[in-house]
Structure 1
Amino acid sequence: MEAATAVIAEIVRNVASLDDLERRHLDETLRWLGQTDDIFRRAKPATPARHLVSYVVLIDPDARAILLGHHRKAGLWLPTGGHADPGEHPFATAGREAAEEIGITAEFSVVGPEPLFLTITTTVGIGACHEDVSLWYVIRGDRTHPYQLDPREFSDQRWWSIDDFSTSETDPHLPRFLAKLRAALSR
Protein backbone atom coordinates (compact mmCIF):
# COMPACT_ATOMS: atom_id res chain seq x y z
CA MET A 1 0.00 0.00 0.00
CA GLU A 2 1.44 3.38 -1.05
CA ALA A 3 1.85 6.06 1.63
CA ALA A 4 -1.04 8.21 0.31
CA THR A 5 -3.39 5.23 0.31
CA ALA A 6 -2.29 4.24 3.84
CA VAL A 7 -3.03 7.77 5.09
CA ILE A 8 -6.53 7.63 3.62
CA ALA A 9 -7.12 4.17 5.10
CA GLU A 10 -6.25 5.58 8.53
CA ILE A 11 -8.70 8.48 8.02
CA VAL A 12 -11.43 6.01 7.03
CA ARG A 13 -10.75 3.81 10.07
CA ASN A 14 -11.33 6.86 12.29
CA VAL A 15 -14.79 7.70 10.91
CA ALA A 16 -17.48 6.55 13.36
CA SER A 17 -20.42 5.00 11.54
CA LEU A 18 -23.88 6.50 11.83
CA ASP A 19 -25.73 3.38 10.73
CA ASP A 20 -25.40 0.03 8.98
CA LEU A 21 -25.11 1.64 5.55
CA GLU A 22 -22.22 3.86 6.57
CA ARG A 23 -20.55 0.84 8.25
CA ARG A 24 -20.88 -1.07 4.95
CA HIS A 25 -19.43 1.92 3.04
CA LEU A 26 -16.54 2.18 5.49
CA ASP A 27 -15.83 -1.56 5.23
CA GLU A 28 -16.06 -1.51 1.42
CA THR A 29 -13.75 1.53 1.27
CA LEU A 30 -11.15 -0.22 3.42
CA ARG A 31 -11.37 -3.33 1.18
CA TRP A 32 -10.94 -1.11 -1.90
CA LEU A 33 -7.95 0.69 -0.37
CA GLY A 34 -6.41 -2.68 0.46
CA GLN A 35 -6.73 -3.83 -3.16
CA THR A 36 -5.46 -0.81 -5.10
CA ASP A 37 -3.48 2.39 -4.93
CA ASP A 38 -5.35 3.69 -8.00
CA ILE A 39 -7.76 5.81 -5.91
CA PHE A 40 -7.33 9.29 -7.40
CA ARG A 41 -9.08 10.45 -10.55
CA ARG A 42 -6.49 10.57 -13.34
CA ALA A 43 -8.75 11.50 -16.26
CA LYS A 44 -12.17 13.13 -16.44
CA PRO A 45 -14.81 12.01 -15.97
CA ALA A 46 -14.26 8.48 -14.73
CA THR A 47 -10.72 7.09 -14.71
CA PRO A 48 -10.51 5.10 -12.55
CA ALA A 49 -14.19 4.23 -12.27
CA ARG A 50 -14.08 4.63 -8.45
CA HIS A 51 -12.14 7.51 -6.93
CA LEU A 52 -11.78 9.74 -3.91
CA VAL A 53 -13.80 12.94 -3.31
CA SER A 54 -13.89 15.48 -0.50
CA TYR A 55 -17.22 17.16 0.10
CA VAL A 56 -16.94 20.52 1.85
CA VAL A 57 -20.19 21.22 3.66
CA LEU A 58 -20.58 24.90 4.62
CA ILE A 59 -22.85 25.27 7.63
CA ASP A 60 -23.94 28.08 9.88
CA PRO A 61 -24.27 26.24 13.20
CA ASP A 62 -26.02 29.19 14.90
CA ALA A 63 -28.69 29.43 12.19
CA ARG A 64 -28.67 25.61 11.83
CA ALA A 65 -28.40 26.04 8.07
CA ILE A 66 -26.41 24.45 5.26
CA LEU A 67 -25.43 26.10 1.96
CA LEU A 68 -25.99 23.98 -1.14
CA GLY A 69 -25.49 24.81 -4.78
CA HIS A 70 -27.45 23.55 -7.76
CA HIS A 71 -24.71 21.61 -9.53
CA ARG A 72 -24.71 22.16 -13.28
CA LYS A 73 -23.55 18.66 -14.31
CA ALA A 74 -25.38 16.60 -11.69
CA GLY A 75 -28.60 18.65 -11.76
CA LEU A 76 -28.81 18.27 -7.96
CA TRP A 77 -28.53 20.48 -4.87
CA LEU A 78 -25.09 19.54 -3.54
CA PRO A 79 -22.44 20.72 -1.12
CA THR A 80 -19.24 22.05 -2.61
CA GLY A 81 -16.28 19.75 -3.02
CA GLY A 82 -14.45 17.75 -5.58
CA HIS A 83 -12.03 15.06 -6.56
CA ALA A 84 -8.77 14.64 -4.71
CA ASP A 85 -5.75 15.22 -6.93
CA PRO A 86 -3.26 12.34 -7.19
CA GLY A 87 -1.43 12.05 -3.88
CA GLU A 88 -3.42 14.90 -2.30
CA HIS A 89 -4.54 14.52 1.32
CA PRO A 90 -8.38 14.75 1.43
CA PHE A 91 -8.17 17.52 4.07
CA ALA A 92 -6.06 19.54 1.61
CA THR A 93 -8.65 18.77 -1.07
CA ALA A 94 -11.38 20.16 1.20
CA GLY A 95 -9.42 23.37 1.77
CA ARG A 96 -8.63 23.75 -1.94
CA GLU A 97 -12.24 23.16 -2.94
CA ALA A 98 -13.50 25.71 -0.39
CA ALA A 99 -11.15 28.29 -1.94
CA GLU A 100 -12.04 27.36 -5.53
CA GLU A 101 -15.81 26.92 -5.22
CA ILE A 102 -16.73 29.29 -2.36
CA GLY A 103 -13.82 31.73 -2.43
CA ILE A 104 -13.00 31.30 1.27
CA THR A 105 -10.36 29.88 3.56
CA ALA A 106 -12.02 26.87 5.16
CA GLU A 107 -12.55 27.00 8.91
CA PHE A 108 -12.90 23.46 10.29
CA SER A 109 -14.10 24.54 13.75
CA VAL A 110 -17.64 23.14 13.80
CA VAL A 111 -16.92 19.42 14.30
CA GLY A 112 -13.15 19.44 13.82
CA PRO A 113 -10.72 18.76 10.97
CA GLU A 114 -11.62 15.11 10.41
CA PRO A 115 -14.38 14.03 8.01
CA LEU A 116 -17.73 13.52 9.72
CA PHE A 117 -19.17 11.07 7.20
CA LEU A 118 -18.21 8.68 4.39
CA THR A 119 -20.32 7.52 1.45
CA ILE A 120 -19.96 5.57 -1.78
CA THR A 121 -22.23 6.99 -4.47
CA THR A 122 -22.75 6.26 -8.15
CA THR A 123 -22.85 9.65 -9.84
CA VAL A 124 -25.64 10.94 -12.05
CA GLY A 125 -25.96 13.70 -14.59
CA ILE A 126 -23.93 14.69 -17.62
CA GLY A 127 -20.98 12.45 -18.52
CA ALA A 128 -19.91 8.94 -17.66
CA CYS A 129 -21.22 7.49 -14.43
CA HIS A 130 -18.66 6.47 -11.85
CA GLU A 131 -18.40 5.89 -8.11
CA ASP A 132 -17.32 8.61 -5.72
CA VAL A 133 -15.93 7.59 -2.35
CA SER A 134 -16.72 10.80 -0.52
CA LEU A 135 -15.30 12.07 2.75
CA TRP A 136 -17.65 14.74 4.12
CA TYR A 137 -15.85 17.64 5.83
CA VAL A 138 -17.75 20.36 7.70
CA ILE A 139 -16.69 24.01 7.55
CA ARG A 140 -18.06 27.05 9.34
CA GLY A 141 -20.13 29.60 7.49
CA ASP A 142 -22.38 32.53 8.26
CA ARG A 143 -25.80 32.67 6.63
CA THR A 144 -25.65 36.50 6.57
CA HIS A 145 -22.41 36.48 4.53
CA PRO A 146 -22.90 36.93 0.77
CA TYR A 147 -21.07 33.83 -0.51
CA GLN A 148 -20.86 33.35 -4.25
CA LEU A 149 -20.46 29.76 -5.39
CA ASP A 150 -18.38 29.19 -8.52
CA PRO A 151 -20.80 29.85 -11.42
CA ARG A 152 -18.92 27.37 -13.63
CA GLU A 153 -19.98 24.60 -11.22
CA PHE A 154 -23.27 25.89 -9.77
CA SER A 155 -26.25 27.60 -11.41
CA ASP A 156 -27.88 28.64 -8.11
CA GLN A 157 -27.34 28.48 -4.36
CA ARG A 158 -29.55 28.34 -1.32
CA TRP A 159 -29.41 27.97 2.45
CA TRP A 160 -31.38 24.99 3.75
CA SER A 161 -32.46 24.13 7.28
CA ILE A 162 -30.44 21.38 8.93
CA ASP A 163 -33.55 20.39 10.90
CA ASP A 164 -36.21 20.62 8.17
CA PHE A 165 -34.37 19.65 4.98
CA SER A 166 -36.89 19.12 2.20
CA THR A 167 -35.71 18.13 -1.25
CA SER A 168 -35.09 14.81 -2.95
CA GLU A 169 -33.00 16.53 -5.64
CA THR A 170 -29.73 16.04 -3.77
CA ASP A 171 -27.07 13.50 -2.96
CA PRO A 172 -29.01 10.45 -1.77
CA HIS A 173 -26.94 10.38 1.43
CA LEU A 174 -27.41 14.05 2.42
CA PRO A 175 -30.40 13.42 4.74
CA ARG A 176 -28.32 10.81 6.60
CA PHE A 177 -25.39 13.22 6.76
CA LEU A 178 -27.71 15.84 8.27
CA ALA A 179 -28.84 13.34 10.92
CA LYS A 180 -25.19 12.71 11.83
CA LEU A 181 -24.48 16.46 11.79
CA ARG A 182 -27.45 17.17 14.10
CA ALA A 183 -26.10 14.58 16.55
CA ALA A 184 -22.61 16.11 16.38
CA LEU A 185 -23.98 19.62 16.97
CA SER A 186 -25.94 18.47 20.02
CA ARG A 187 -22.75 17.22 21.72
Structure 2
Amino acid sequence: MTAIDASEVSDQLLRARLTDVLDRLWIWDEQERAHLTAAVEWVAGGAPLYRTQKPDVPSMHLVSYFVVLDESRGELLLVAHRKAGLWLPSGGHVEPMEDPWDTVTRECREELSIEAVPSAVTGAQPFFLTITRTRGHGQHTDVSLWYVLQSSAGAITSFDEGEFEAIKWLSPQQVLAEPADTLDPHMHRFTRKLMSVVACG
Protein backbone atom coordinates (compact mmCIF):
# COMPACT_ATOMS: atom_id res chain seq x y z
CA MET A 1 0.00 0.00 0.00
CA THR A 2 1.39 3.40 -0.97
CA ALA A 3 1.52 6.38 1.37
CA ILE A 4 -1.34 7.98 -0.57
CA ASP A 5 -3.45 4.84 -0.28
CA ALA A 6 -2.76 4.62 3.45
CA SER A 7 -3.75 8.26 3.89
CA GLU A 8 -7.00 7.67 2.03
CA VAL A 9 -7.81 4.65 4.19
CA SER A 10 -7.09 6.62 7.36
CA ASP A 11 -9.30 9.45 6.13
CA GLN A 12 -12.13 7.02 5.40
CA LEU A 13 -11.79 5.43 8.84
CA LEU A 14 -11.87 8.80 10.56
CA ARG A 15 -14.91 9.88 8.56
CA ALA A 16 -16.65 6.62 9.53
CA ARG A 17 -15.71 7.20 13.18
CA LEU A 18 -16.95 10.79 13.03
CA THR A 19 -20.21 9.71 11.41
CA ASP A 20 -20.72 7.21 14.22
CA VAL A 21 -20.05 9.92 16.82
CA LEU A 22 -22.60 12.20 15.14
CA ASP A 23 -25.16 9.39 14.99
CA ARG A 24 -24.94 9.00 18.79
CA LEU A 25 -25.71 12.63 19.58
CA TRP A 26 -28.87 13.36 21.52
CA ILE A 27 -30.43 16.34 19.80
CA TRP A 28 -31.56 19.18 22.03
CA ASP A 29 -33.51 21.49 19.69
CA GLU A 30 -34.28 22.19 16.07
CA GLN A 31 -31.17 24.32 15.61
CA GLU A 32 -28.97 21.45 16.74
CA ARG A 33 -30.91 19.11 14.45
CA ALA A 34 -30.23 21.41 11.50
CA HIS A 35 -26.55 21.64 12.42
CA LEU A 36 -26.33 17.86 12.71
CA THR A 37 -27.89 17.35 9.27
CA ALA A 38 -25.40 19.82 7.76
CA ALA A 39 -22.45 18.23 9.57
CA VAL A 40 -23.35 14.70 8.46
CA GLU A 41 -23.63 15.88 4.84
CA TRP A 42 -20.30 17.70 5.14
CA VAL A 43 -18.48 14.65 6.47
CA ALA A 44 -20.03 12.32 3.88
CA GLY A 45 -19.40 14.75 1.03
CA GLY A 46 -15.63 14.33 1.13
CA ALA A 47 -14.77 17.98 1.82
CA PRO A 48 -11.59 18.61 3.83
CA LEU A 49 -12.33 18.27 7.55
CA TYR A 50 -9.24 19.78 9.14
CA ARG A 51 -7.62 23.20 9.16
CA THR A 52 -4.39 23.08 7.20
CA GLN A 53 -3.47 26.77 7.29
CA LYS A 54 -4.33 29.41 9.88
CA PRO A 55 -6.82 30.93 10.19
CA ASP A 56 -9.24 29.94 7.44
CA VAL A 57 -8.00 27.15 5.13
CA PRO A 58 -10.21 25.35 4.41
CA SER A 59 -13.07 27.72 5.12
CA MET A 60 -14.98 25.07 7.12
CA HIS A 61 -13.21 22.80 9.58
CA LEU A 62 -13.56 20.69 12.70
CA VAL A 63 -13.15 21.96 16.27
CA SER A 64 -13.32 20.24 19.67
CA TYR A 65 -14.66 22.31 22.56
CA PHE A 66 -14.59 21.06 26.13
CA VAL A 67 -16.57 22.50 29.01
CA VAL A 68 -15.02 21.69 32.37
CA LEU A 69 -17.64 20.97 35.04
CA ASP A 70 -16.95 20.98 38.78
CA GLU A 71 -19.62 18.42 39.59
CA SER A 72 -19.55 19.01 43.35
CA ARG A 73 -20.05 22.76 43.00
CA GLY A 74 -22.17 22.60 39.85
CA GLU A 75 -20.03 25.22 38.10
CA LEU A 76 -18.68 25.52 34.56
CA LEU A 77 -15.32 26.92 33.49
CA LEU A 78 -15.21 29.62 30.83
CA VAL A 79 -12.13 31.32 29.40
CA ALA A 80 -11.74 34.86 28.05
CA HIS A 81 -10.37 34.13 24.58
CA ARG A 82 -8.06 36.90 23.41
CA LYS A 83 -8.64 36.60 19.65
CA ALA A 84 -12.38 35.98 19.80
CA GLY A 85 -13.01 38.63 22.44
CA LEU A 86 -15.60 36.33 24.03
CA TRP A 87 -16.02 34.05 27.02
CA LEU A 88 -15.84 30.52 25.63
CA PRO A 89 -15.21 26.93 26.62
CA SER A 90 -11.64 25.76 26.13
CA GLY A 91 -10.80 23.83 22.98
CA GLY A 92 -9.04 23.92 19.67
CA HIS A 93 -8.90 22.87 16.06
CA VAL A 94 -8.72 19.17 15.29
CA GLU A 95 -5.39 18.42 13.62
CA PRO A 96 -5.27 16.50 10.31
CA MET A 97 -6.04 12.80 10.91
CA GLU A 98 -6.66 13.42 14.62
CA ASP A 99 -9.65 11.97 16.46
CA PRO A 100 -11.70 14.79 18.07
CA TRP A 101 -11.35 13.22 21.54
CA ASP A 102 -7.57 13.21 21.10
CA THR A 103 -7.86 16.94 20.41
CA VAL A 104 -9.63 17.33 23.74
CA THR A 105 -6.89 15.50 25.66
CA ARG A 106 -4.14 17.45 23.89
CA GLU A 107 -5.72 20.86 24.29
CA CYS A 108 -6.68 20.18 27.90
CA ARG A 109 -3.02 19.66 28.79
CA GLU A 110 -1.86 22.64 26.71
CA GLU A 111 -4.49 25.15 27.85
CA LEU A 112 -5.30 24.13 31.43
CA SER A 113 -2.43 21.79 32.43
CA ILE A 114 -4.78 19.00 33.50
CA GLU A 115 -5.69 15.58 32.16
CA ALA A 116 -9.00 15.25 30.33
CA VAL A 117 -11.43 13.24 32.46
CA PRO A 118 -14.89 12.69 30.95
CA SER A 119 -17.81 13.92 33.02
CA ALA A 120 -20.06 11.33 34.59
CA VAL A 121 -22.94 13.24 33.00
CA THR A 122 -21.86 12.65 29.39
CA GLY A 123 -18.92 10.26 29.22
CA ALA A 124 -16.33 10.57 26.45
CA GLN A 125 -18.89 11.25 23.72
CA PRO A 126 -19.59 14.79 22.53
CA PHE A 127 -22.64 16.31 24.17
CA PHE A 128 -23.47 19.15 21.79
CA LEU A 129 -22.86 20.16 18.17
CA THR A 130 -22.71 23.61 16.62
CA ILE A 131 -21.80 25.14 13.27
CA THR A 132 -20.68 28.73 13.69
CA ARG A 133 -19.32 31.44 11.41
CA THR A 134 -16.47 33.18 13.22
CA ARG A 135 -16.10 36.93 13.30
CA GLY A 136 -13.16 39.27 12.76
CA HIS A 137 -10.09 38.64 10.60
CA GLY A 138 -9.91 35.33 8.75
CA GLN A 139 -13.57 34.48 9.06
CA HIS A 140 -14.39 30.81 8.64
CA THR A 141 -16.91 28.22 9.80
CA ASP A 142 -16.27 26.00 12.82
CA VAL A 143 -18.00 22.64 13.08
CA SER A 144 -17.67 22.20 16.84
CA LEU A 145 -18.11 19.09 18.95
CA TRP A 146 -18.69 20.06 22.59
CA TYR A 147 -17.46 17.64 25.27
CA VAL A 148 -18.00 17.86 29.03
CA LEU A 149 -15.08 17.11 31.36
CA GLN A 150 -14.94 16.88 35.13
CA SER A 151 -12.45 18.60 37.40
CA SER A 152 -12.52 20.49 40.66
CA ALA A 153 -12.03 24.22 40.54
CA GLY A 154 -9.04 23.88 42.85
CA ALA A 155 -7.25 21.56 40.43
CA ILE A 156 -6.94 24.24 37.75
CA THR A 157 -4.23 26.58 38.96
CA SER A 158 -2.87 27.86 35.63
CA PHE A 159 -3.98 28.48 32.08
CA ASP A 160 -2.51 29.42 28.70
CA GLU A 161 -2.12 33.18 29.10
CA GLY A 162 -1.13 33.51 25.45
CA GLU A 163 -4.65 32.48 24.43
CA PHE A 164 -6.74 33.51 27.43
CA GLU A 165 -6.92 36.74 29.37
CA ALA A 166 -8.69 35.14 32.34
CA ILE A 167 -10.82 32.20 33.44
CA LYS A 168 -13.91 32.05 35.64
CA TRP A 169 -16.25 29.49 37.16
CA LEU A 170 -19.97 30.11 36.81
CA SER A 171 -23.10 28.27 37.83
CA PRO A 172 -25.45 27.47 34.93
CA GLN A 173 -27.78 30.20 36.18
CA GLN A 174 -24.89 32.69 36.12
CA VAL A 175 -23.98 31.63 32.57
CA LEU A 176 -27.57 32.26 31.47
CA ALA A 177 -27.47 35.67 33.15
CA GLU A 178 -24.41 36.69 31.11
CA PRO A 179 -25.19 38.86 28.04
CA ALA A 180 -25.35 36.58 25.01
CA ASP A 181 -23.02 38.82 22.99
CA THR A 182 -20.18 38.27 25.49
CA LEU A 183 -20.27 34.47 25.08
CA ASP A 184 -20.00 31.89 22.36
CA PRO A 185 -23.28 32.38 20.46
CA HIS A 186 -24.46 28.88 21.47
CA MET A 187 -23.35 28.96 25.12
CA HIS A 188 -26.82 29.63 26.50
CA ARG A 189 -28.27 26.75 24.47
CA PHE A 190 -25.51 24.40 25.63
CA THR A 191 -26.11 25.38 29.25
CA ARG A 192 -29.85 24.76 29.02
CA LYS A 193 -29.23 21.36 27.47
CA LEU A 194 -26.76 20.45 30.21
CA MET A 195 -29.15 21.66 32.92
CA SER A 196 -31.92 19.46 31.51
CA VAL A 197 -29.69 16.36 31.62
CA VAL A 198 -28.39 17.07 35.13
CA ALA A 199 -31.94 17.63 36.36
CA CYS A 200 -33.04 14.30 34.90
CA GLY A 201 -30.02 12.51 36.41
Deviations 1:4-34 (A, max 9, x none): 1121111111111000000000000001111
AA matched with 2:112: I
Q: After superposition, where does 1:20-59 map in structure 2 within 5 Å? A: 20-59=30-69
Name which of structure 1's ranges 158-167 and 43-52 shifts more when overlaid on structure 2. 158-167
Question: 2-side partners of 1:146 and 1:171: how far apart?
Answer: 22
Corresponding residue number in structure 1 for 2:108: 98
CA contact (8 A) 1:40 1:86 kept: yes
Corresponding residue number in structure 2 for 1:89: 99
AA matched with 1:36: G
Q: After superposition, where does 1:63-82 map in structure 2 within 5 Å? A: 63-82=73-92
RMSD: 1.3
Name which of structure 1's ranges 23-32 and 141-150 shifts more when overlaid on structure 2. 141-150
Corresponding residue number in structure 2 for 1:115: 126
CA contact (8 A) 2:91 2:108 kept: yes
CA contact (8 A) 1:65 1:159 kept: yes
CA contact (8 A) 1:64 1:163 kept: no
Question: 1-side partners of 2:197 and 2:104: how far apart?
Answer: 19
Give TM-score scaled by structure 1 length.
0.95
Corresponding residue number in structure 2 for 1:174: 187
CA contact (8 A) 2:62 2:94 kept: yes
AA matched with 2:148: V
Deviations 1:125-169 (A, max 9, x none): 4x3010000000111021233432200110111111113322220
Question: 1-side partners of 2:46 and 2:123: how far apart?
Answer: 29
Give the CA deviation at 1:37.
4.2
Corresponding residue number in structure 2 for 1:6: 16
Structure 1 moving runs of 4+ over 2 Å: 143-147
AA matched with 1:118: L
Q: State the identity %.
A: 39
Structure showing the higher helix proportion among its residues: 2
Question: 2-side partners of 1:145 and 1:3: how far apart?
Answer: 36
Give TM-score scaled by structure 2 length.
0.88
Q: Secondary structure at the match of 1:159?
A: strand
Correspondence for 1:152 among 153, 156, 162 = 162
Q: Secondary structure at the match of 2:110?
A: helix
CA contact (8 A) 1:18 1:180 kept: yes
